[in-house]
Structure 1
Amino acid sequence: MVAIEVPEVDYTEYSNRQLVAVPLAILAIALLILGGWYLATGAPADLGVEFTGGAELRLSVNESADFEPGTPAARGTLEDPETFSVEPSSIQYVPGDETYVVTFRPDAPPDGSGESGDFGSVAGEARDVGFTVDAQDRVSASFGSGVQTQALGGLLVAFLGMSVLVFAMFRTFVPSIAVVLSAFSDLVIPVAVMNLLGIDMTLGTVAALLMIIGYSVDSDILLNNSVLRRTGGFYESVSRAMRTGVTMTITSIAAMAVMAVVATVFGVDLLRDIGIILAVGLCADLMNTYLLNVSLLRWYKFEGVSDR
């Protein structure tokens, strides 16, 4: 078993402003990305079919086709503008099943129809070019909007519940707001990266963001408890928390990275996306916990209003 050596960090070499500069700068960039995305699309992230409505076809290559599944010819056929009267929003190949998952958004009308959401012909069009329709699913725009409200509302409730719990535990403003601010940054940064990588906001990615809240609170509370409630000097307490917290987080990052790679190889896009989001969120958590949170706790202990 490989042991993870956590290096000792001499925080006395850095001022509080130096410690917070990097995490706050990255948070500001992430917020600018989300703001720009909202102005351009009307949402802070690209929304999947579950939230926008639309249709999804699962296709396999039939025996009469003159191409094999997984080949450029098969994908090129699906990407050909003349194949479907409705432009697909995404085409994903699943190697294990040798199938293609083709999704259509409701705001992509068939050519010349002028009406959005008419997906009745796409299954027949897929059969015409050599594919078999194994499954077909459709989500109305109104239902997708309701699912979106419930999912994002659940995310907000989880974050607010976490904030209330943290304030109830520490009952002091600065240590509590340090945990909440770190968790907020841990959520915003992965969403910004999702936009840059083209990962849609789906029920699966919302679940990953909920898991990030749990990871973030775990590491931040570990640090705060070590500094505020255990014996020893400030830097000794931070070092003690880092030995446990950094080890746990790096182990989790490695696990998520492996999951993302394996899922990419086998074409399981949802697991790949969850692995990427969690790995990014955990990296952000390392930065926010041991730079942003430590700087706020140090200010609170030595320059703020706490008892020294």
Structure 2
Amino acid sequence: MASLEVPELAYEEYTNRQLAAVPLAILAVAVAVLGITFALTGTPLALGIEFTGGTELTIATTADQDEVAAAFEQEPTSIQPVEGQQQYIVRFAASDLEGFDEDGQAILQDLVDQADQNLEPAAGADGSSPVVGESLTSASFGQQIQFTALIGLVVAFIGMSAITFGLFRTFVPSVAVSLSAFSDLIIPLAFMSLFDIQLTLGTVAALLMLIGYSVDSDILLNNHVLRRSGSFYESVHRSMRTGITMTVTSTVAMLVMAIVAWFFGIGLLRDIGLILAVGLIADLMNTYLMNVSLLRWYKFEGVAR
């Protein structure tokens, strides 16, 4: 892989506090965004139907989006057009459907009947019904999935921290990796909250991937500084040549994926691409500002003196 031209940063001109100030300030803003959203809505993020429960209909119709919304007595939670096709993915959250917990299947059938009565099927729809796909997730099952996803994130983070400590067997470098990974998660979560990107199984997978990306770049930096020959600043610059090349390449790839997915109306891939791109940009900042400041303190002022 060809390396990018990475200039040597004049770290000597900045104190450790100055290097860490920007990433810590952005982390504080991200935490505040999630906290305010939680105070206003009861959850830090908008949750997808997988976690809240509800129904999803795939409708093939000649009607436009406004007509699809008007076809139902209950206003849909979201309507997503499928690019290049006369299809819409219509979602109803369980919290918006009265009596859903008691008889979700009957409510789903009622929604299908309303679509049949009020919408004209598209030419490609099978039979006379515009509904070509349907699914139902109970609220209790959604809560179980939500809990499982949360446990998965926590276990992944704890496992990453344990492996990092096992590799370096020193407190400060291990904390640097864990703090950077934590910030790499919180900043994309705040981005999701601001731009109303729902937390779904797909976006949880993107967050899990971010943990892997973060650990990779941070361990690369720590390994160069703590285990290889050369001065501190030479080691940092060597790791930057590899780490920035990998991260910038991955970020561009994620942005291209998001743009292509947006063009073709693939909402999940668009969201995953955006989350990963934001997380990777945050990882560059956290790794080469906050992590470098902690490692420099450890090497020159801390217990490694």
Same fold (TM over 0.5): yes
Q: Partners in 2 of 1:107 and 1:59 — Cα distance?
A: 22
Give the alignment partner of residue 132 of structure 2, picking from 120, 131, 134: 134
**Corresponding residue of 1:52:** 52
Check the 8 A contact 1:53/1:105 in 2, yes or no.
yes
Check the 8 A contact 1:253/1:278 in 2, yes or no.
yes
SS of alignment partner, residue 121 of structure 1: helix
What amino acid maps onto 2:66 in structure 1?
A: G
Q: Return closer, same or farther for 1:166/1:3 CA change in 2, 3 Å cut-off.
A: closer
Check the 8 A contact 1:189/1:284 in 2, yes or no.
yes
Q: Partners in 1 of 2:97 and 2:49 — Cα distance?
A: 15
What amino acid maps onto 1:188 in structure 2?
A: I
Check the 8 A contact 2:54/2:136 in 1, yes or no.
yes
After superposition, the C-alpha distances for 1:14-38 in whole angstroms (9 at most, x for unaligned) are: 1111111110010001111111122
Q: Partners in 2 of 1:300 and 1:290 — Cα distance?
A: 15
Question: Runs (4+) of structure 1 moved beyond 3 Å?
Answer: 115-120
TM-score, length-scaled by structure 1? 0.91
Check the 8 A contact 1:163/1:180 in 2, yes or no.
yes
Q: Partners in 2 of 1:78 and 1:48 — Cα distance?
A: 20
After superposition, the C-alpha distances for 1:206-263 in whole angstroms (9 at most, x for unaligned) are: 0000000000000000000000000000000000000000000000000000000000
Q: Partners in 1 of 2:225 and 2:168 — Cα distance?
A: 12
Check the 8 A contact 2:3/2:241 in 1, yes or no.
no
Q: Which one has the bigger helix percentage?
A: 2
SS of alignment partner, residue 46 of structure 2: coil
Q: Partners in 2 of 1:140 and 1:86 — Cα distance?
A: 18
Q: Partners in 2 of 1:161 and 1:2 — Cα distance?
A: 32
Q: How does 1:148-227 map to 2 (within 5 A)?
A: 148-227=146-225
Q: Which runs of 5+ in 1 are unaligned?
A: 68-73
SS of alignment partner, residue 36 of structure 1: helix
Percent identity over the alignment is 60
Check the 8 A contact 1:107/1:116 in 2, yes or no.
no
Q: Partners in 1 of 2:175 and 2:97 — Cα distance?
A: 47
Q: Partners in 2 of 1:168 and 1:3 — Cα distance?
A: 30
Q: How does 1:249-268 map to 2 (within 5 A)?
A: 249-268=247-266
Q: Partners in 2 of 1:290 and 1:51 — Cα distance?
A: 36
**Corresponding residue of 1:23:** 23
**Corresponding residue of 1:77:** 67
**Corresponding residue of 2:38:** 38
Shift of 1:2: 7.3
What amino acid maps onto 1:45 in structure 2?
A: L
What amino acid maps onto 2:302 in structure 1?
A: G
Check the 8 A contact 1:182/1:216 in 2, yes or no.
yes
After superposition, the C-alpha distances for 1:60-100 in whole angstroms (9 at most, x for unaligned) are: 01xxx5x4xxxxxx0111233xx212221111011144310
Q: Aligned residue pairs: how many? A: 293
Q: CA RMSD in A?
A: 1.8
Q: Partners in 1 of 2:117 and 2:278 — Cα distance?
A: 42
Shift of 1:304: 0.7
1:103 and 2:91 matched: yes
Shift of 1:102: 0.5
**Corresponding residue of 1:143:** 141
After superposition, the C-alpha distances for 1:254-302 in whole angstroms (9 at most, x for unaligned) are: 0000000000000010100000000000000000000000000011111
Shift of 1:116: 9.2
1:292 and 2:290 matched: yes
Check the 8 A contact 1:108/1:116 in 2, yes or no.
no
Q: Partners in 1 of 2:187 and 2:41 — Cα distance?
A: 19
SS of alignment partner, residue 138 of structure 1: strand
Q: Which runs of 5+ in 2 are unaligned?
A: 122-129
**Corresponding residue of 1:71:** none
Q: Partners in 1 of 2:257 and 2:94 — Cα distance?
A: 32
SS of alignment partner, residue 107 of structure 1: helix
**Corresponding residue of 1:70:** none
Q: Partners in 1 of 2:80 and 2:68 — Cα distance?
A: 10
Q: Partners in 2 of 1:150 and 1:3 — Cα distance?
A: 40
